[in-house]
C-alpha cells in the first residue's frame, strides 16, 4: 500500500548536522521525498501537532523543545511508508532503541530523540496539514518507481 508519512528532524538532529545522514537512510530504503522545508514551529503548531499528549506531564517541555529552533519537515512516500519509517526510526527512548535504527545510532534520551514520524494514517492525516499545504506536495513521478 502506497502511503505518506510526516517526518520531522527535530532541533537536536538539525543542530548536530544529522539531516543528511537521516535523509540518506530513508531514501536508501526506497522512500521518496514529496515535500521538504525548514520550519520554525510556532507554539500553536506544536500544541496541535502534539495534542494527543496534552495531558502528559512532559507536554510543556515537548512544546518548548520543538519550538526552540528550526526543524526539517518532510513528507515521504512509499510502500507501507508509515511502518517502514517507524521501524527505521526505532523506539521512542534513544537509550533503548535498537542499534542500526536512527534513534539507536544517534540518541541516548527520550526527549532529544532526533526525529518524529507519524505512527498511523490517522496521525498523518492530523499532522501533515499542520506542516504542509496540498500545493507544497509533489507526487513522486521521476519514472523509476520499480527500482525497489
Q: Catalytic residue positions?
A: 116
Check residue 137 for interaction with ligand CMP (CB under 6 A): no
Question: Nearest approach, Cβ of 133 to ligand CMP (angstroms)?
Answer: 22
Compare residues 62 and 137 and give the one whose CB is closer to ligand CMP.
62
Residues 6+ apart with CB under 8 A from 29: 78, 84, 88
Q: What are the distances in angstroms from CA 23 to CA 3, 17, 18, 39, 47?
A: 17, 11, 9, 16, 26
Q: Which three cell numbers stand for residue 74?
A: 518532510
Which position among 48, 68, 86, 92 is part of the footprint of ligand CMP (CB under 6 A)? 92
Check residue 36 for interaction with ligand CMP (CB under 6 A): no
Binding site for ligand CMP (CB under 6 A): 53, 58, 62, 92, 110-111, 113, 116
Amino acid at each position: 500500500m502506497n502511503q505518506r508519512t510526516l517526518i520531522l528532524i527535530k532541533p537536536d538532529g538539525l543542530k548536530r548536522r544529522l539531516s543528511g545522514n537521516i535523509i540518506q537512510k530513508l531514501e536508501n530504503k526506497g522512500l521518496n521525498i514529496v515535500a521538504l522545508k525548514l520550519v520554525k514551529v510556532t507554539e500553536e503548531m506544536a500544541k496541535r501537532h502534539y495534542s494527543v499528549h496534552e495531558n502528559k506531564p512532559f507536554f510543556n517541555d515537548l512544546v518548548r523543545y520543538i519550538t526552540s529552533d528550526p526543524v526539517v519537515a518532510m513528507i515521504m512516500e512509499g510502500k507501507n511508508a508509515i511502518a517502514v519509517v517507524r521501524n527505521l526510526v526505532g523506539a521512542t527512548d534513544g537509550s533503548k532503541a535498537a542499534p542500526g535504527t536512527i534513534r539507536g545510532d544517534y540518541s541516548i534520551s527520550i526527549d532529544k530523540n532526533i526525529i518524529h514520524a507519524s505512527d498511523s494514517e490517522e496521525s498523518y492525516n492530523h499532522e501533515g496539514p499542520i506542516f504542509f499545504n496540498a500545493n507544497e506536495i509533489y507526487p513522486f513521478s521521476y519514472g523509476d518507481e520499480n527500482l525497489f
